[in-house]
A and B are shown apart, each in its own frame.
Chain A
Amino acid sequence: MGVQIRNITKTFNKFVALKNVTLDVQPGELLALLGPSGSGKTTLLRIVAGLEFADPGHGQILFHGEDVTYHSAYKRRAGFVFQHYALFQHMNIFENVAFGLRVRPRKLRPTEDEIRDRVFTLLKRVQLEQLAKRFPSQLSGGQRQRIALARALAIEPRVLLLDEPFGALDAKVRKELRRWLRQFHEETHLTTLFVTHDQEEAFELADRVAILSEGNIQQIGCPKEIVQHPTNTFVHDFLGLDI
């Protein structure tokens, strides 16, 4: 079932950011939303997260079959990773990762020992357990983004949403993290939506790529399919294909 986006339209004042977008993300799939700036890809991701709401009366968002269209962000259990990390500066790394567990209602909140175990498991997973007591300002960009990912994973998200997660990093780190994320996805198969404007990144990482322009999905398919058979001139030009 994965994530189903049904007929989503979003208007800002009079500007139409998304025009009747329908998109299915298969369970366990890593799908990249690729497009130039202003194409609506980030808006779509934010609507899936519940940080923005689609125009009322238009469309639906379903997580694994459950209609979450009108749920607030805090009820959706969607892990979101921001371009600029958005770590909590006044908390150390441990507390950053533990945050999502600590804010749970008392009945659902794990015990202190469980929180500790879970946080350290996640920190090991992102290979940064030695930094638990550091503060975000003491970490490099790549480390911060891995912590942001660990923090998003702590709540056992139903979907993982990544908004240009490597956009603020330098080229070398970006390539490393890209490979690392792909490997991570192979191990977990968490349903993932990934926003980027970097086609190399999209094609290397994703199972399938959806190309957006002016609020419409121009083409969706696996990387090979898109490169070999672009459906229209926009995709053709955007990818910079010859002939």
Chain B
Amino acid sequence: MFNRFTPRIMPGFGLSLGYTIFYLSLIVLIPFSALFTKTFSASWAHIWESISEPRVLASYKLSFGVSFLAALVNGFFGLITAWVLARYEFPGRRFVDALVDLPFALPTAVAGIALTALYSTNGPIGSFLFEHFNLRVAYTPLGIFVALTFIGLPFVVRTLQPVILDLHADVEEAAACLGATRWQTFTRIILPALLPALGTGIMLAFGRAVGEYGSVVFIAGNLPLKTEITPLLIITKLEQFDYSGAAAIGLAMLLASFVILLLVNLIQWWNDKRTAHDREEN
């Protein structure tokens, strides 16, 4: 593979690989290694204390739990949105399509402030929910959930849309001719084809939600042990000049995300391998 005398159809393998490694090092690996160095410049006791105090533990639960829920909800509604945008022609479709990107484009702080204004108990939606359902949204985990759902939606929609557009109409027609109802066609033919992309979209939304700071801090209320997200605690540590403590929490989050992503990939890999094994059997 690395034999430089092997003739190739596509030239420039060495150059482009070198560039890729250089670029990744510059953009990704150097900051990562700085995170490691900073963390381990402190004593083990301090690191352990930083990542295991009750406030921080509560924030892990909140950050990962709510992010996961928000990503799942986005998976469901994102699938419907992507389906409608890809499959139906209706007036204003392009406008709705552009709306999906708004959470990408909007500065997160603006989104956070807007959501807080809407959902606080004297805001237009918040006051309605509070009066009729006795439901507080802003300054509760529910508010965090709303913000994380908002920022995660485009990830699911944009991963699914091209895959839905790529489905062949004749496969669905074949299912119909064989006696399948629309619902059976959807669950047995369409959904299995979309599952890998749906999984990717949900993971992207989850990853984004775990790291989200700007839109959440305004609506969360930041009550210790209740509505503090982990990125907020990192900022808090920094403000107290506890740089290694901040780095330690950052590293803990990074490792947790890494493990989760690894697990998901392992499941997908296992699943691929299982079907591939079926294929080889004969």
Contact = CB atoms under 8 A, between A and B. Distances in A.
A90 B282 contact: no
A104 interface: yes
A86 B188 contact: no
A77 B179 contact: yes
What's the interface size class on A, roughly? 35 or more
B181 A74 contact: yes
Contacts of B65: none
B53 interface: no
Interface in B240-282: 275, 278-279, 281-282
B281 A99 contact: no
Interface string B117-133: 00000000000000000
Contacts of A104: 179
What's the interface size class on B, roughly? 20 to 34
Contact of B177 (A92, A134, A152): A152
Contacts of A84: 168, 170
A155 interface: yes
Nearest to A73: B176
B176 A78 contact: no
A138 interface: yes
Contacts of A151: 174, 178
A90 B188 CA distance: 10
A222 interface: no
B175 A99 contact: yes
A74 B192 contact: no
Given A80-B173, A130-B282, A100 B178 contact: yes
B177 A103 contact: no
B177 A138 contact: no
Most buried by A among B171, B174, B281: B174
A interface, over-half SS: loop
Nearest to B177: A80
B278 to A, nearest CB: 6
A135 interface: yes
Contact of A86 (B171, B180, B278, B281): B171
B96 interface: no
A76 B174 CA distance: 13
A47 interface: no
Given A88-B189, A90-B193, A135-B279, A99 B180 contact: yes
Contacts of A73: 173, 176-177
Nearest to A52: B173
Interface of A: 49-51, 72-80, 82, 84, 86-90, 92, 99-100, 103-104, 130-135, 138, 148, 151-152, 154-155
14 contacts: A50-B176, A74-B176, A74-B179, A78-B177, A87-B174, A88-B189, A103-B178, A103-B180, A104-B179, A133-B279, A134-B279, A138-B279, A148-B174, A152-B178
- Would you list the 5 A-B pairs with minimal beta carbon distance, nearest first? A100-B178, A86-B170, A80-B177, A86-B174, A73-B176
Given A88-B189, A99-B178, A152-B178, 9 more contacts: A73-B173, A73-B176, A74-B179, A75-B179, A78-B177, A87-B171, A99-B188, A131-B282, A151-B178
